Structure 1
Amino acid sequence: MQLRTALLAAALITGPAALAKAVTPADTILPPTVIFATSTGYWEESRADIAIERAPGAASDPAKAEPQPRHGYYKLFSVRQPDKTSKIYLQQIAQADSGPEIVSSVELHEFTQLKPYVTDIRPESSTGMGKQPGLFATVYLKTDPNAESEGWTVLIDEFGEITIEKATN
């Protein structure tokens, strides 16, 4: 009985260590240079936004020929640079049956020109993906590492126009 208890104790102690696998850099899910991120807002395509292309002579099956409009959310994130400033990127993410898919990624050059030290990124609301098209988020940053943080708003209207401006209270 003591041998059985000792073997069970040894298995419990070494078992998790044997099952644990070290994460290699290639397995990293999120690079350590991504320091702040938020997923927020909502977007959707209209049928007019979708270009339908058919191969010459292809049979026209209406069920297959009519793609469905996509919809999804935005992701706003900052990536730390070697000089400790950050670049800020905006991604458009589609909600697909197979899971989220990146539709587009763009660097927001208005922020890059400031050479910001980003201290936070916050969505307008933490209730999840909205049902009204657009995005409103606040990026908190410093242009001098010893200064106080300032808020800058990132706004995307229902037409997809992006506006970046210093926040006013």
Structure 2
Amino acid sequence: MFFSHIISFFFVFLTLGLVTYANPVTATDGNEVVKRQQADSIEAVFTNLKASTDSILPQIDALIDATDDNIAPLITQLTEAFSTADTDLTAFNAKGGDGKPHNKDELAKVIAGILITIVNKLLLSVELLLAGVLKLVAILLIDVAARLRSISWGLVLATLGL
């Protein structure tokens, strides 16, 4: 009786083993899966990012009349370059790095070069926009001062320094 339980238990595992036995299928032509190219080092990730930004930023500089239609794709490319670098760094970190010591000063110089270039472009754009806004505010303050004078609000004018 005990022996029949052992035999049935053995046949259950044998059946499951035969059912789940996998036979690998060979890939047909054109259907091969290609492994994604990932950076081998941190330096390569930032070098790729710098190359991407160095090709996109001159195109932004070359725009004379920037509109949403012509600047949005360039900003999208810039965002994708940073997303790709983030993905590569995450994958590099997940596989445990390369085990080599990295020159932190050189990495800092490369990263600073990328960020300084992008921030300078953005601040220049903001500066040009801000100049127009300040001109508009100055014109509006002149109109406000004239209106306040016309309704005799001398104390308000003195408070505002107009």
**TM norm. shorter chain > 0.5:** no
* Structure possessing the higher relative contact order (Cα contacts under 8 Å, 6 or more residues apart): 2
TM-score by length of 2: 0.28
Per residue, is there more helix in 1 or in 2? 2
